Structure 1
């Protein structure tokens, strides 16, 4: 199966824009750079959440550490002639643990049917465990985090995310992911790790008319409930009757490959290892990474069509 990109000119221009160093600072951003004075007890914050987010976003885009971010922003603001204070690396480290994703960052969902793809992947955590194993053969307990993503199949954008520890199972994160999606879901696709009656119940509570495409396990049996068979029972019966490959073609399960592409895009552009050390700061790092990835995708994405090969 071969595909052909139909918008090469627009896509290439978008790829070039991703590497642009041009920064546009709006008057609203300048006015909101300093934190408003608080009326409760405690020290006064000097920088707003917008200033912290801007610094962390630049660090994510250009792969810089906190001290490098401080120096980069100082030079940029000096070149722009802006008299604004720059958060130091200690402030960035501390505020990253309390920053929360603003509701304004959630882009409106498109009109029409929403096809949601869900999957998870592992992210390495900063530490010397791997070096000790390779250098000295020492056994270490390497920890890692689990990134759960929900992707819009039509646009390829990340519409929900959640970071957990390595021991959290995938089905338990379906409800937290779906709670971040306000629109009605027309179709939901995931791999066999999400199979089970609770998963179907969670999805149908969110959108009662959603079509759920989750491959049942090889040992799955029909529920035996009275009344018309549910979606999971229909999948089990269809696989037993026609085989798993025909079931995948009939249900469009191959669309799930798009979330694998999104995960590869995240690890390729943002990275496969978390730099922050505390769990709260790691959650902030992942949230900003998803925002950056969606913005890069908005600059330009390939539009592919299946290429028909003529046989002589």
Structure 2
């Protein structure tokens, strides 16, 4: 589907050209892109097999660490499931490890559960929290048909995020539909955060009456809500 944003004035947008000034450093950077360094921790090798199950049911063969490793290699190198299985097998062979790699069927079945998991970020010390939201447009055949023929409006979602200002890490996030208000998602974001909060900075869309009491009750040492212009 063609990119239609600013289509009317696309010809008037000046083209920016970049020239390489330092060719040795540029070529060295290109070579580093092909450098591959893999290191497996001893804990990962020792925990490759799944722990013995104590409840009724079948015994799993691979641990979450092994499945997560293969899926991570698949994402990094843009591989299919069978290709990721073969690539991991060759890497373990080069490292001198005789470990059985999860097959593509196991990766496909277990990858669905890993996709919904969110790692918990435990901050070190009090945080300066930044809360904002952004819109996510849904694309697909139905969305293209809606834009082409004008039958329905384009659907989208809202992603509410809380960022640690000191480290830039996303410590909490909530995905809602486009009808959810920003101020109503602040309690859910604060409940998912572990540790003390020094201050909270939000934009004008989050500036509401339910926000202030919830921030004061969220283990804040010096709770401050600084509304800015909505953007």
Q: TM-score, normalised by structure 2?
A: 0.69
Task: Quote the Cα distance in structure 2 between the aligned partners of 1:164 and 1:18.
Answer: 38
Deviation at 1:106? 4.0
Task: Quote the Cα distance in structure 1 between the aligned partners of 2:138 and 2:102.
Answer: 25
Aligned match of 2:89 in 74, 77, 91?
A: 74
Task: Quote the Cα distance in structure 2 between the aligned partners of 1:55 and 1:18.
Answer: 21
1:55-109: CA deviation from partner (whole Å, max 9, x where unpaired): 333334344454443343233223323222223333233223334758xx54542
Equivalent in the alignment of 2:69: 54
Count of aligned pairs: 203
Equivalent in the alignment of 2:111: 96
- Asked whether 1:117 is paired with 2:125, we answer no
Equivalent in the alignment of 1:196: 208
Task: Quote the Cα distance in structure 1 between the aligned partners of 2:104 and 2:153.
Answer: 29
Task: Quote the Cα distance in structure 2 between the aligned partners of 1:80 and 1:141.
Answer: 54
Task: Quote the Cα distance in structure 2 between the aligned partners of 1:124 and 1:26.
Answer: 40
Task: Quote the Cα distance in structure 1 between the aligned partners of 2:59 and 2:137.
Answer: 35
Which one scores higher on RCO, CA 8 angstroms, separation ≥ 6? Answer: 1
Contact 2:129 2:165 in 1 (8 A): yes
> Map of 1:19-58 to 2, 5 A cutoff?
21-58=36-73
> What secondary structure sits across from 1:86 in the alignment?
coil
Equivalent in the alignment of 1:210: 223
Task: Quote the Cα distance in structure 1 between the aligned partners of 2:101 and 2:178.
Answer: 35
Deviation at 1:201? 1.6
Q: Please identify which structure carries the higher helix content.
A: 1
- Asked whether 1:157 is paired with 2:172, we answer no
RMSD: 3.7
Alpha carbons of structure 1 residues 166 and 21: separation in structure 2 relative to 1, 3 Å: farther
Larger radius of gyration: 2
Equivalent in the alignment of 2:9: none
Contact 1:129 1:141 in 2 (8 A): no
> What secondary structure sits across from 1:97 in the alignment?
helix
Question: Runs of 5+ in structure 2 lacking a partner?
Answer: 1-25
Task: Quote the Cα distance in structure 2 between the aligned partners of 1:75 and 1:125.
Answer: 38
